[in-house]
Structure 1
Amino acid sequence: MQTDITGRLLICCPDRPGIVAGVSQFLYNCGANILDASQHSTDPREGLFFMRMVFQLEKADITREQLEKDFQEKVAGPLKMDWHIDYTDHRKQMAIMVSKYDHCLMELLLRWRSGELPVDIPLVISNHKELQQLTEDFGIPFHYLPVDAGNKAEREQEAIRLIKNVNADFIVLARYMQILSPAFVSVFPQKIINIHHSFLPAFAGANPYKNAYTRGVKLIGATAHYVTNDLDEGPIIDQDVARVSHKHAVSDLVMLGRDIERQVLTRAVVAHIEDRVIVHGNKTIVF
């Protein structure tokens, strides 16, 4: 007998009448109370249906394993669903990778310590030592893995081993200034969140604020996205911008940009933690 189990169900399937009714009826038969439901249908040419449903099993005499088995047999299989259920009693493990810049790391650590990010942070990995003391002041293990052209593959394997050893559910690149190899990315598909200091796809690369200044842009921004093998082109989770003018120097753009980076990265991490993101191709549906 389990009590007060809250589950988050994410669904993608071909669009057709009766999907919401079928899922709702199934959960009702299991003794579940639906707390929230959101849905989205694509245009008829693509014909796909996406849904996020939050439900609570209040003293229901069914295990989550049996619920999932029955859901696959009775609902998901016949409706050809790709689906996933996560439960709120599973506290996600968030690994962080960072280089020298501290603003995104500090934002995550402060929000974690205040309880705003309901995750555990089992480790921070960095290719520099500058942020070791900061990390350890929060009581989090810090692993220094310096990277150069000759040891990159070896260091990535060390990082993979460390991340797997703590059973991390996902990884946040809090301004980790290294390009991850396809071999690394393939181990954690759709589980690596990067913050890019630009409103992608504009001004990709290492120095977007200088490029933006040179072009005299009136908007700067930041983009949080899942990492794929295509540099800075993975599915976008969140973005934001700030208005600027000719009066702003490059240093002003950097300062404003870092504020946006902190906010955008936090929103993307929260969306991932709360199971509000469905990845479809190179796009996301964020409920």
Structure 2
Amino acid sequence: MGAKDNLWILTAQCPSRLGTVDVVTRSLAESENYVVAMNSFDDKATESFSIRVEFRPLGGETSLEKFRELFEPRAERFDMQWQLTEPNHRTRVAIMVSKYDHCLNDLLYRYRTGELAIDIPLIISNHPDLKPLAEWHGIPYFHLPITPDTKPEQEEQVWQLINEYRCELVVLARYMQVLSAAMAARLDGWAINIHHSLLPGFKGAKPYHQAWEKGVKLVGATAHYVNNDLDEGPIITQGVQAVDHNHYPEELVAKGQDIESHTLANAVRYHIQKRVFLTGNRTVVFPD
């Protein structure tokens, strides 16, 4: 049994007010719940407070019931939105992908080895190419082709599958389609996307080849929540690596894909561990 087993997680957000930390810790102490770890942040820019607490109920279910009884009215006075996550909760994740397999492969490996506490009930793609990989893992694969004319119908099918399989998180693991405004609104705050972050920025076809032609010195990746601003949603994690004249386009691509995979996995881990808090178009991310 690991040190983190049997720990509950309390997450909460509210407007900045005197006594926010106290109301949380006092309620936990009075109900015999032992605080193991705690992170909090007061954002002066948005005047919002975020807190994450890992705790152990010393009295089992009795401690939990007493905490809810004490904390609910107190939290209401602070306009505090809060959530309890039970120990060893496994988040149900829908993965969307096109043809590139590096991010999908990485997530499936971390899922298979237990590094990520997730279940993957389905994989959705607009191409059939990665179906054998899904079948090898015993995961249903839904090939839903898309054209400009069929986009509304395809996205409605995607939405129905996400709900049918009771998914709590959607991961766009190099899904090379721009979501409609309506679909982005549906997934706002609970869908994670990944894209390369070359400096300076290169858009369009073969960005790594464009970057090589300009002698790029940094390659990177950004994982962010989906919203209606293409590749500009609230950032969760970023990765970067220095390169130089020795790296040809194919090597830049390989390095970029490795960074994309690692950065996306970190973003998924932070999300499922309840470490990410949205404050407008920014995030508060507590380290693990």
TM-score (normalised: structure 2) = 0.90
- Once the two structures are superposed, the pairs formed by residues 1-287 of structure 1 within 5 Å of their partners are 6-43=7-44, 46-62=46-62, 67-68=67-68, 70-74=70-74, 76-199=75-198, 202-203=201-202, 207-287=206-286
Distance change in 2, residues 1:246/1:147 (3 Å): same
Question: How far apart are the structure 1 equivalents of 2:66 and 2:200?
Answer: 44
CA RMSD of superposed structures (Å): 2.1
SS in 2 for 1:83: strand
SS in 2 for 1:180: coil
Where do 5+ consecutive residues of structure 2 fail to align? none
What code does the residue aligned with 2:86 have? Y
What code does the residue aligned with 2:94 have? A
Distance change in 2, residues 1:274/1:67 (3 Å): same
Conserved? CA contact 1:194–1:227, under 8 Å? yes
Offset of residue 15 of structure 1: 2.7
Distance change in 2, residues 1:206/1:176 (3 Å): farther
Distance change in 2, residues 1:64/1:142 (3 Å): farther
Question: How far apart are the structure 2 equivalents of 1:69 and 1:249?
Answer: 62
What code does the residue aligned with 2:83 have? H
What code does the residue aligned with 2:245 have? H
Identity fraction in percent:
44
SS in 2 for 1:211: helix
SS in 1 for 2:77: coil
Question: How far apart are the structure 1 equivalents of 2:187 and 2:76?
Answer: 26
Question: How far apart are the structure 1 equivalents of 2:200 and 2:284?
Answer: 18
Conserved? CA contact 2:187–2:227, under 8 Å? no
Distance change in 2, residues 1:200/1:234 (3 Å): farther
Offset of residue 77 of structure 1: 1.6
SS in 1 for 2:7: strand
Where do 5+ consecutive residues of structure 1 fail to align? none
Conserved? CA contact 1:30–1:60, under 8 Å? no
Question: How far apart are the structure 2 equivalents of 1:189 and 1:206?
Answer: 27
What code does the residue aligned with 2:59 have? K
Question: How far apart are the structure 1 equivalents of 2:179 and 2:158?
Answer: 11
Conserved? CA contact 2:96–2:123, under 8 Å? yes
Conserved? CA contact 1:5–1:58, under 8 Å? no
Question: How far apart are the structure 2 equivalents of 1:229 and 1:68?
Answer: 36
Q: Judge which range, 76-85 or 139-148, deviates more.
A: 76-85
Offset of residue 20 of structure 1: 1.4
What code does the residue aligned with 1:77 have? E
Question: How far apart are the structure 2 equivalents of 1:77 and 1:184?
Answer: 32
Conserved? CA contact 2:218–2:240, under 8 Å? yes
What code does the residue aligned with 1:160 have? W
Question: How far apart are the structure 2 equivalents of 1:152 and 1:100?
Answer: 18
Conserved? CA contact 2:52–2:275, under 8 Å? yes
Conserved? CA contact 2:173–2:193, under 8 Å? yes
Question: How far apart are the structure 1 equivalents of 2:259 and 2:271?
Answer: 18
SS in 2 for 1:121: strand
SS in 2 for 1:122: strand
What code does the residue aligned with 2:50 have? F
